[in-house]
A and B are shown apart, each in its own frame.
Chain A
């Protein structure tokens, strides 16, 4: 079954007289346990598409079926619940809470999932250990490097054990070694049967996926399987 099924999606921004077609008639189906890389030049609509897939944003027109249910018919609360339970979102700009430490940032989705404080703390700590931040648990975002912040964001996305990971440029701020570690983590998550969708502009990163979707000016230009796939060493 298609976990994600979007048909004839348009996202149009009107600024004054100018209409920006951020997404221009996009249709895309993604199966459970696929690993998809979305590529394209800056401004081609990658983040816009990710926001739609992540149930953060609604299209100007078109239909989005998420696990067989029409997202357009859901209310605010349903969407919040899907974002909380089904989707792990890693933003291009981290979007951590500046005043809270790493642990609290990772705990946050569990609060909204109604997980008790003690269980929350334990799971958040474990998620931070998984991304190699065991000694940065009580650091605030401004006390962390860019790569460490990215890893906190990854831990926050994974802590709820979502079935779909949406990552917008997860390695954009990382050196190649840390980048490879993050990609190894994604590979592992994918190996556990989850669906992973990664936005990137680096061919090397895209080659970790099984399928590449290339956007240009809000349209899908190419949608093809990856032939020479990179399978990273599992993280120790």
Chain B
């Protein structure tokens, strides 16, 4: 019973306090608006940052899944390594022969495929791409990816083994060469050689993945790559190994490691002379990128909220000073300390939440621009966070002035000129 009554009394005080606070803010519209600038900037920053990170996340996860986080890349090089590059350069190239022996040794992978990359100019009539990533591979490559096709198909086993001049285009490549979208069946020139387009990929991806992004790549039979596009620098193949499920990645990796060591004839104490790479290495760079954005965002947010809070504290002190007599009157006719305290805390919170709402609105508008680069939108949790942060800032900034108001002596306050 008592708690219910206390609860009701609390709600009553909250509502009355809120009305008084809103009136006070309305009485000083201009001043309140100017005071919120810091909060507005802070909230805009935090919401935009989380929106941008969300966008990066979306883009990256889309990219990762199109490549498969469950895919291993056995290559001459380790992608991320502290080994000196000249040591890795002395390693033997991985050959097709080695791939075949490797493929016959492993049992766990869902699929394996060899590929080799070259950079070539690609042309169709007047359209050309100066340096496109040409991936020479076999038909089995498809099974290591999640590719979907906008048009056509991947090349077949026959086309691959007999090294036909056929090409599958990534979506960006296709767009650049065939703005009208009529790529299928056309002949493109890759490094001066004619290839027939048999398929165009659906858009996969992500700007973050750079060279990994299938949108920017073309796929041709590996035999043709060896014939025309392999140089001394680019003559080592990479073996892609897709695990049967994400849970099996580690086991698959162990098996692949053993198989590859066997292929290379390494003794038990020899070091690996190849690298087994995984997207999670990429994930680390991604995380550190996001980390930098986050630190930057938190810094801006923290700083502007801090400046905003100081500004509000200052205004609240001025407000308490100006309204000393009012406080005296309220106390004289029965306002308790905590009522006065709540009144001023609510007032500074109201100012801050208004700033937060303005900042949120601003962030929503600005996120439309972010959306141009990174498909994203302001998330509900970010919006809630913004309001909670601004209310908390309001309370934090209001504590000292509100306390000063609450502990005023009524007689002194009434006497104040």
Contact = CB atoms under 8 A, between A and B. Distances in A.
B332 A89 contact: yes
Nearest to A82: B334
A119 interface: no
Contact of B332 (A76, A85, A95, A114): A95
A57 B411 contact: yes
A214 interface: no
Interface stretch (A104-112, A218-226, A228-236): A104-112
B410 A56 contact: yes
A109 B334 contact: yes
Contact of A156 (B331, B333, B338): B333
B21 to A, nearest CB: 13
A80 B328 contact: no
Given A51-B411, A76-B337, A99-B27, A108 B330 contact: yes
Interface string A85-126: 100010101011111000000001101111000000000000
19 contacts: A51-B411, A56-B410, A56-B411, A77-B337, A77-B338, A80-B331, A80-B334, A80-B336, A80-B337, A83-B334, A95-B328, A97-B329, A108-B329, A108-B330, A108-B333, A109-B333, A109-B334, A112-B339, A114-B9
B411 A80 contact: no
A142 to B, nearest CB: 14
A131 to B, nearest CB: 16
Given A83-B332, A97-B326, 18 more contacts: A56-B414, A76-B337, A77-B337, A80-B331, A80-B334, A80-B335, A81-B334, A81-B336, A89-B333, A91-B332, A93-B414, A97-B329, A109-B334, A112-B333, A112-B334, A112-B335, A112-B336, A114-B9
A95 B328 CA distance: 9
Interface of A: 51, 54, 56-57, 76-77, 80-81, 83-85, 89, 91, 93, 95-99, 108-109, 111-114, 156
Q: Which 4 A-B pairs have the closest CB atoms?
A: A84-B334, A112-B334, A109-B333, A80-B336
Nearest to B26: A99
B237 to A, nearest CB: 81
Contacts of B251: none
Contacts of A98: 326
Contacts of A95: 325, 328-329, 332, 414
B99 to A, nearest CB: 82
B12 interface: yes
B329 A96 contact: yes
Q: Which of A84, A97, A112, A114 has the most CB of B within 10 A?
A: A112
Nearest to B9: A114
A123 to B, nearest CB: 14
B250 interface: no
Nearest to B412: A57
